[in-house]
Structure 1
């Protein structure tokens, strides 16, 4: 059964934005940065899980290796682009323009605002808490926490706001790789989840069956559900 979607489509600075609006007043607002598509499959999965009181703000057409990376890092594969460190610039656009517009369109004032993402967008979601106090909750699904010096950055710097809930997940086969950088992902994800626990956040860490590309829609929805 398809649910009648109360959705708005917007274009802001070449980003393609889809806002799935709740009919409830003051429903939470969750930002989900996506690699492709408009997030409808994730929204439907959330509805099927009973998460109906949610405003889901999906941002697409992202320059993935630029907008989601906190600083420069050479590519981990020979044929791919380097990571060019555009996260600060994109975060300003997200907060100053995209989020402001979304808040005008939803019913009431969101009970809380969260940020969620898969892969590099999961890295970006964690990085955002060091740059802005806008987000109350964070979900990082199969986050690229192997990113060069990222764990060190988190431990050395002061967050702008410690989220009251942080969710991390990973596929149980993600660390089974020959790539020396990607190999570290499980250790680093566990290390970071323990660190935020010590700081006092409610942290959930979940291992899912499969590799990085298994059940991405379901895993994304599960992560968002966990912070609602």
Structure 2
């Protein structure tokens, strides 16, 4: 299916041959949707439709609120997640699902790094997603853990997948080094509420096997 553009974002749809198959929305840093979907097909993954969104203003669209740069030479975060989420819910999703033969049996949201943070944030601002994949999510983001612990999702999620590289917290960066502790605490918080959730620790740092980790998360959501 041909990609289309909405609000400067490029949207690619990889449709399932099964009507009513679940649909997963994947926000991507550099348009990894084709690689992710292609890799799920030969290995008996349950059928699903993938919608990948690229050409994002990463530090704006994925950030829930303003924050200082995470690296010395990095850009600060300008919280634009609410604006982007409105575009996703009101324009991208209706356009993407207009072509489907049947409404999806469920709708999930997934992402890697800041997009994993955004996927989790999204369920606190909208009720359209019922499953979340937070792969190597930027859960070090200042104030985010506290936000999770003090707010209620718009709908109780069916399941949430968390993963992280085992070297991601091994850094001198005082902000980034909190990522594993925060991820484990957040995952335990959902588990204590009886939500189906898992935390997967993978070998390597943040920049290792991003595609493979993304696929693993989506497959876990599909098999629940």
Name the CA distance, whole Å, in 1 between partners of 2:43 and 2:83. Answer: 34
Q: Give the counterpart of 1:182 among 176, 182, 187.
A: 176
Shift of 1:52: 5.2
Contact 1:38 1:59 in 2 (8 A): no
Deviations 1:26-74 (A, max 9, x none): 0001000000025111111111332251100000000000000000001
- Secondary structure in 1 matching 2:47: coil
Deviations 1:115-164 (A, max 9, x none): 00000000000000100110010000000000001010011112101211
Q: Does 1:8 align with 2:2?
A: yes
Q: Does 1:105 align with 2:96?
A: no
Q: Give the counterpart of 2:37 among 43, 58, 69.
A: 43
Q: Does 1:118 align with 2:137?
A: no
Name the CA distance, whole Å, in 2 between partners of 1:145 and 1:12. Answer: 28
> 1:77 — aligned with what?
71
> 1:140 — aligned with what?
134
Q: Does 1:88 align with 2:79?
A: no
Name the CA distance, whole Å, in 1 between partners of 2:188 and 2:205. Answer: 22
Name the CA distance, whole Å, in 1 between partners of 2:101 and 2:29. Answer: 27
- Secondary structure in 1 matching 2:3: strand
Count matched residues. Answer: 222
Q: Give the counterpart of 1:201 among 195, 198, 202.
A: 195
Name the CA distance, whole Å, in 1 between partners of 2:117 and 2:90. Answer: 21
Q: How large is the RMSD of aligned CA atoms in angstroms?
A: 0.9
- Secondary structure in 2 matching 1:184: helix
Shift of 1:8: 3.0
Contact 1:22 1:107 in 2 (8 A): no
- Relative to the length of structure 2, the TM-score reads 0.97
- Secondary structure in 1 matching 2:163: strand
**How is 1:57-68 mapped onto 2 (pairs within 5 angstroms)?**
57-68=51-62
Structure 1, unaligned runs of 5 or more: 1-6
Name the CA distance, whole Å, in 1 between partners of 2:132 and 2:46. Answer: 19
Shift of 1:80: 1.3
